[in-house]
Structure 1
Amino acid sequence: MESFPEAHKPGYAVYSRTSLAIYDALVLGLSNRWIWRCPSSHLVGLYNRHVSANHLDIGVGTGYFLDKARFPVSDPKVALLDPNSDCLGKAAARIARLNPVTIQADALVPWPQDIGTFKTIGLNYVLHCLPGTMAEKAVIFDHAIPHLEDGATVFGSTILQGDAPRSGAARKLMQIYNRKGVFSNEADALEALRSELDKRFDDVTVEMIGCVALFSAREPRSA
C-alpha cells in the first residue's frame, strides 16, 4: 500500500481482498437494511439521480454502486480514487466494461492536479471513515471543488450519530467500529454536516434515512 498519512489509515486499511469478498453481503445487505435502516436501494437511487457521463468516485469499496447505477450515456468517463489498492482493483474489475481510470490517492490531502475536472463526484460512505471532526473531514470538499466542472454536483452518504435515530444494535456496532478505527463518527451530527456543506455550496440537499445522511451539493460559493 502506498505511503499515506498514518492517522488516515485505520478507516481504509481494514479493506483487504478477504473483507471485500464479504462486504456486499455484510455491509450493503445486512448492515444497511437492518442496522443502519437505510437499504442499499436508497443509495443506488442516489447514484441514479446524480451520476453523470464524467464521474469521479471517492472511496470506491467494491464498485457495487457504480455497477448498479444507470449512467446517462453508454460510455461514461469514470475515475476511481482510493488510497487502498485492493479496493481500486476490486472496483475496477467489477466495472471493467466502463474502462475506469484508477487513482491511488488520499482524498484528505490535496488531490493530484492532473486528474482533471468532473461533472459529478461521489463520496459514498466516506465521511464516517475519515478521522477528526466534521469540520476537519470537510476539507475533502475543499479538495473536490477545484475539480468540479461548471454546474457539477458532489453527492454521497454518511452514517451519523448525534440526533440520528439509532437502534441499540446500531449504537453498539458504531462503538465497536469507532474503537477499532474503522469508523470515526462519534462527533458526526446532521447539523454539522449541513453546516459544512452550506459553507461551501449554495445549493445543498440533505435527507436522513435511518441513521444515514444522503446529500448533494452544487454551485460552490466564492472563496
Structure 2
Amino acid sequence: MLYSLPQDLHFIDGPRIASFQALEKMSETSTQSQTKKLDTAKGADAYNPSNLKTYDTLVFGVVSPYGWNCSAEKLISFFNRNIARAAEPYKSNPGGPPLTRILDIGVGTGYFPARAPLPKWTEYVLVDLNETCLDVTLPVIERAHPEVGTNATKVVGDFLAQGDDSKSLFAKGNGLPEGGFDAISLMFLLHCLPGPPARKAEALGRMGRLLRPGGVVFGATILGKGVSRNPLARLVLWLNNYLGVFDNHEDDAVGILVPLQKMFNEVRYEVVGCMLLFEASDPRCY
C-alpha cells in the first residue's frame, strides 16, 4: 500500500516525527558536506550487451526478491498500475489528445514495459545515457506491443544534466515537450546516479515540467540507509558502490521524499524491503 505524505507523517521504519519541519531538518543534516562531482555516465556505462543478457534473471529473479526483499511481481504491479492510471483518461475522453504519452528514463532492458498493459494508443519515449540500453529495449517493446512499437522512440539523455548541456532532457531538439507526458517512469534509476539524495530529488522535481495535468512521476530505487539488509543485500550494495554502478550509500527515504514534497503537492510512497517506491503528481510552480 502506498502512503500519502501529510504535514504530520510516520517516518518509514521508525518512530513518529512530530512535524514536517522536523523531518525536513533531518534531511538537511543528512546532505551536509556532500559535494561529490557529478559523473552520471559512470553508472550508465556499466551496462553492455553481454551483461544485459543476464540482467533480468539476476536482478529480478535473484537479487531483488532475495536481497532487496522486493519481488518482481510487486514491482511489475506498481509499474502497471501507474501505466493504467496514465491511460485511463483517454478511454473516456475521445475528444482529448489521441495518444497516452509515457516517458521512460533509465530503461534497462525493457523488463517493465514489456509486461505492462500498454494500450494501442500509447506513445512511448525511451531515455537513457547508455545507447546500448536503448538499442536493447526498443525491440523488446516492439515485440511485446507491435501496435505501440511504431510510436516508440529513443533519446540519448542525461537525467541530471541542466542548462545548455546537449543531453539535458530540456535541451532543444530532443523531442521532449514540456507539459507533454502523462507518466514519467524512473524504475531502478536513482540509486545509479551520483550525488546526495536531495540532488536526485531536485532532478525529480524538474520532471514536473514535462507532465501533462494529472500526470505522475513514479519510480523505484534501492536505499542505502535507513533499511534492514540481509547478507546478500549488504554484499550487492557494497560491490555495486565499489564498482561505481551504484552511488546510494547516503540515499534514504527522508532525503528523497522531503525535497520531493516541496516540489509536488501529492507524494505517495511505500518502502518494501530495501526498496523505495514513490509517486509524485500535481507539481508546484517550478
Which 10-residue stretch deviates more, 59-68 or 28-37? 28-37
Q: How far apart are 1:216 and its partner, in Å?
A: 0.4
Q: CA RMSD in A?
A: 1.4
Map 1:94-105 to 2 at 5 A: 94-96=140-142, 97=146, 98-99=148-149, 100-105=152-157
Map 1:86-101 to 2 at 5 A: 86-96=132-142, 97=146, 98-99=148-149, 100-101=152-153
- 1:60 paired with 2:92, answer no
Q: How far apart are 1:169 and its partner, in Å?
A: 1.8
Partner of 1:13: 45
Structure 2: distance between partners of 1:135 and 1:192: 6
Structure 2: distance between partners of 1:27 and 1:185: 17
Structure 1: distance between partners of 2:264 and 2:248: 22
1:157 maps to a residue whose letter is A
Superposed CA deviations along residues 119-164 of structure 1, whole A, max 9, x for unmatched, are: 0000000000000101122232233121111111000000002211
Structure 2, unpaired ranges of 5+? 1-36, 87-99, 162-167
Q: How far apart are 1:6 and its partner, in Å?
A: 7.5
Structure 2: distance between partners of 1:200 and 1:6: 22
Partner of 1:70: 117
Structure 2: distance between partners of 1:190 and 1:137: 12
Matched-pair contact (CA < 8 Å) for 1:59–1:124? yes
Superposed CA deviations along residues 67-119 of structure 1, whole A, max 9, x for unmatched, are: 00112x22311000001111001110100122211001111113134312100
2:257 maps to a residue whose letter is R
Structure 1, unpaired ranges of 5+? none
Q: What is the SS of the residue equivalent to 1:95?
A: helix
Matched-pair contact (CA < 8 Å) for 1:108–1:139? no
2:223 maps to a residue whose letter is L
Which TM-score applies when normalising by structure 1? 0.93
- 1:35 paired with 2:67, answer yes
Matched-pair contact (CA < 8 Å) for 1:132–1:184? yes
Picking from 207, 223, 228, the partner of 1:160 is: 223
Please identify runs of 4+ aligned residues in structure 1 that moved more than 3 A: none
- 1:115 paired with 2:176, answer yes
Matched-pair contact (CA < 8 Å) for 1:107–1:143? no
Q: Which one has a bigger Cα radius of gyration?
A: 2
Residues matched between the structures, number: 218
Partner of 2:239: 176
Which 10-residue stretch deviates more, 143-152 or 105-114? 105-114
